[in-house]
Structure 1
Amino acid sequence: MNLIGNGMLALLRNPGEAARLTGPESGPGLVTTAVEELLRYDSPVRDATFRCAAEPIELHGQLIGEGDIVSLLIGSANRDESRFRDADRLDVGRAPNDHLAFGYGPHFCIGAALARLEGAVAFPLLLERLGPVVLAKPADELAWRPARVMRGLAALPVVRT
């Protein structure tokens, strides 16, 4: 649900990228990379649940001791300029795209395959069936559901153009 809502908002705010998904270069390959990019660009899971450091480690001059509680900011990691060139720009053809939207290792989301499939079906169909639409109100006035871990819109109002 959050992937589709956040992704549609990103596409509405970047109409050139939405047009790529409905234009002549579109196809299964582009849809696959678009879903990965929409996951990276505005991750449905903003923060990972708290973790406990298994051993002492120093990161950027800060010591994290064994047993210290840490919180991982997935949304921030997915916008890391040292990892993703031009990270604040939506690019539905971005590849490779090694985002962390579904976590990593033993904490990898068991629903990742289903979410990817839902996105691959939903985005092309919504863009095709809705036709030309725009946000019904400014993006900064949209309501987000209150949550610490998940990031999702309460509603995504649109109007036909």
Structure 2
Amino acid sequence: DIKLNNRNKLTIILDGISDPGNLGTIIRLCDWFGLDQLICSTNTVDCYNPKAIQSSMGSIARVSCHYVSDLLTYIDLINKPIFKAEINGTSIYKNQLQEYGTYVFGSESHGISEELKSNIKNKIGIPNFKKHNGAESLNVATSVAIFFSEIYRT
């Protein structure tokens, strides 16, 4: 069963993640940081894909992946602040990120779906510190790891 209002826990929502290696790594990150569930859109790759299982390194046994067909309705039921991770969002280093919240991460190539994006007001992101032409973006699993690290920083 999906836990909607667990006041002491962070909620991570994945929207359209297509690479099973990224999903498996995110499952492993959830396990490492103490989350026991992960919410996914139905167009996110299957968590039981062999590559996802392999890259989760066993964490799939401890983290439940729930696929939700209507993320907008699900988000309406969550009684927590909701943030969308976007490349041009307010820097995650400007304010301490809260564990009591929901963070939405989008697909590797397209980001968060327009439907979700337009219904989530709080936009945050990892700033780019490059001083030259370089990488355009971060891998979604890398972004989730940085968010987790910042959320749990004391």
Q: TM-score range with shorter-chain normalisation?
A: under 0.3
Larger Rg: 1
More strand by share: 2
Give the TM-score normalised by the residue count of structure 2: 0.25
Give the TM-score normalised by the residue count of structure 1: 0.24
